[in-house]
Structure 1
Amino acid sequence: MKYFAVLLPMKDADKSREFRPQHLAFLKDKRDSEQVTANGKFTDGSGGLVIYRAESFEACEALVKADPYVVEGARKYEIFEWDAVWAENAT
């Protein structure tokens, strides 16, 4: 399994507010299925970051394209394969 850091820069603040509940439900489902390791918004309001686990860039992009924020045009996305290094006591 590979890790991918996905930046979700703000595209439309109104749509972002409108579709936030659906986006958060989507992320919870992906965390529950271990496809998302971590997620959170940037405190300056510019967007957020999601760490996905997927077999390939294409598999990750398919997940990202299913995010309601992306589907509804609230956020753009940038995907970076991430060579994660974890602390010994981290998962």
Structure 2
Amino acid sequence: MDKKKDNEILEEHISYLNGQIEKGNILAKGPFTDHSGGFIIFSVKTMEEAQQIAGQDPAALNNTREFTFKEWKCSIEIDTKGVMSH
């Protein structure tokens, strides 16, 4: 990973992800507190949709971050305002 290049595109990366949040494609995102990476929860119907969205992220286009995908099943319901319920 090219940390210098990653720092140069950091604002683009954040802006892109925030745009995807506004479109409803991302439910949550953020860095790990130990600075070892980050986590994104996509709100899409297929793994392919998540991969397409991530593939257009400036960090992916510039090869400054590695993306690993895992399908996850939420065990609580989250309404459209992000309020969790059991």
Under a length normalisation based on structure 2, what TM-score does the superposition of the two structures give?
0.84
Q: Match of 1:90, as an amino acid?
A: M
Give aligned pairs, total: 81
Distance of 1:48 and 1:12 partners within structure 2: 16
Give the match for residue 31 of structure 1. Answer: 21
- Between structure 1 and structure 2, the one with the greater Rg is 2
Conserved? CA contact 1:36–1:53, under 8 Å: yes
Structure 1 residue ranges (4+ consecutive) displaced by more than 3 angstroms after TM superposition: none
- Structure scoring higher RCO (CA < 8 A, sep ≥ 6) equals 1
Q: Residue 61 in 1 paired to residue 55 in 2?
A: no
5+ long unaligned stretches in structure 2: none
Residue among 61, 64, 80 paired with 1:74: 64
5+ long unaligned stretches in structure 1: 1-10
Kindly report the root-mean-square deviation, in angstroms, between the aligned alpha carbons of the 2 structures.
1.7
1:20-39 C-alpha deviation (Å, 9 max, x unpaired): 10011001101111100000
More strand by share: 1
